[in-house]
Amino acid sequence: MLSVINNVQKSIFGRLLFIFSITAASILLVLFLSLKMATKDGDSRRTRFASLFSDHANYLINDIGTPPNISKATNIANSLHIQIMITGNEFLWKSSDTFVSPDNIEVIHRHHREDIKFSMGRYKGERFFIIKKDGYTYYLTGLRSFIKEDGYLWFWVALTLCFTILYFSYRAINWLFAPLKLIQYGAQTIEKGGLSFRLHSDRNDEIGNITHAVNSMATELEKMLEAKRQLLLAISHELRTPITRAKVGIEFIDNHKIKQSLSDDLSELDRLIGELLESERLNQKHNVLSLHDIDITQLIRTAVSATTDKNNQIEVINHEPYSHIKGDPLRLELLIKNLIGNGLKYGDDKPFVITNTRQEHDITIEFKDQGSGIEEEHLQHITEPFYRADSARQRQTGGYGLGLYLCKLIAEAHKGKLDIVSTIGEGTTVTVTLPINQ
């Protein structure tokens, strides 16, 4: 039995069942008690009615008088919308011909005072008040509205209590499922790359199990990605040595065409390894930037002049002559060169425009080509490492999916951002926003 209770306590479904059971039982109890209070004929309730009405009835009987004044009795019956019957001393009068016979009235309560005898009776759901005084018996009915108002009061009390119970049940269920919002937030954080995020929970039910499962998943993902990163770094470092030996070896090749082709391949591989290492440096939590006061306009000119083969296709627009910021010149030059290289490679030999604009707190550099564009479904992934929007691209197109990823890391390391907008058939615009002061 104890094991069953423990299992229920540790089960969210058991807790829900408990909450619903308590709610249902509470509502039924309130309805039962309110119905009983509105309709019961217990002694205490009858006594309150009797005491209350006996005083009022005494005033009415005094107004009618002894012997009874028929005219006054008629006026009282009409003004109060009640029915009255008076008997005794060979006297019989009733305000309505349909007044029930006294023999049919069941007496349910008696209340005596010094000068009068008071009784409560009923017949077919109708209440009767019977007063005996000075040899006369007075029957009064039609006071049903008094009882109904009291019943309505209990109805509203019961309704209020039911809504109160439902409110607290809702709060209890809301408390029970509150960790789900935190779990959702944690899952979204992990989805965006925050693998170090962990959920905190002291629950030992199903929600607690889900919390621990999400934390375990994040831990395993973090371990796998870290192992992958370490492997990538190790391979990159190890490749540097054979690449250096290969560069020395090709100098002994007499065929200039083969020699140049091998040299280009080795340079491409060396560049890729350099980008891998640089990406991992920028991914570190500590700051790796060497900040200096640099002129972005001059940096753009330097990068453009380094593009000797196609710099005639590049148009540079400077809206502000003064564009100095605090930044790492080597890494920002690498960012600009990479974006110029991408624009020229995929710009279909059309003009490539670089626009430099200074705002109040930051500088915006816009790189716009007129190539074939990138489909919208690829835009959110284009800055991921090794991602290719066109899987059919060969090495001749250049790039291995690290260029834009590295550019994004450089921009974010400077507390800036990189945005990409593209339209099929019109071209792609890459916008880099950098703060003037960090």
pLDDT, tens only, 162-175: 778 778 877 877 77
High-pLDDT (> 70) share of the chain, %? 79
Superfamily of domain 292-435: Histidine kinase-like ATPase, C-terminal domain (3.30.565.10)
Q: List the single range of 20-24, 78-82, 328-332 with lowest mean pLDDT.
A: 20-24
Average pLDDT (17-25) is: 75
Q: Which of 354, 390, 376 is nearest to 422 (CA)?
A: 376
Greatest mean pLDDT range, 43-52, 399-408, 411-420: 411-420
377 pLDDT higher than 70: yes
The model's pLDDT over 391-408, given as tens digits with 9 standing for 90+, comes to 444 444 444 467 888 899
Contact 218, 200 (CB under 8 A): no
* pLDDT at site 398: 47
Rounded-to-integer distance, Cα 293 and Cα 2, Å? 73
- Which range among 80-84, 191-195, 245-249, 334-338 shows the weakest confidence by mean pLDDT? 191-195
How many residues in total does the chain contain? 438
Per-residue pLDDT of 183-204, as tens digits, reads 888 888 887 777 788 888 777 7
User: What pLDDT, in 10s, does the model give residues 219-230?
Assistant: 888 888 778 777
CA distance 382 to 408: 10
Phi, psi of 418 (to 5 degrees): -125, 125
The values of phi and psi at residue 285, to 5°, are: -75, -30
Could you give the C-alpha distances from 351 to 344, 396, 427, in angstroms and in order?
9, 21, 11
Whether 409 contacts 402, CB under 8 Å: no
Query: Omega of the bond prior to 67 within 30 degrees of 0, cis?
Result: yes
Q: Region 105-121: what's the mean pLDDT?
A: 75
Cα–Cα distance for residue pair 84/282, rounded to 1 Å: 99
Average of per-residue pLDDT values in the chain: 78
Taking the C-alpha atoms of residue 424 and residue 42, their distance in angstroms, rounded to an integer, is 86
Which helix (H) or strand (E) is 239 found in, with range? helix 206-250
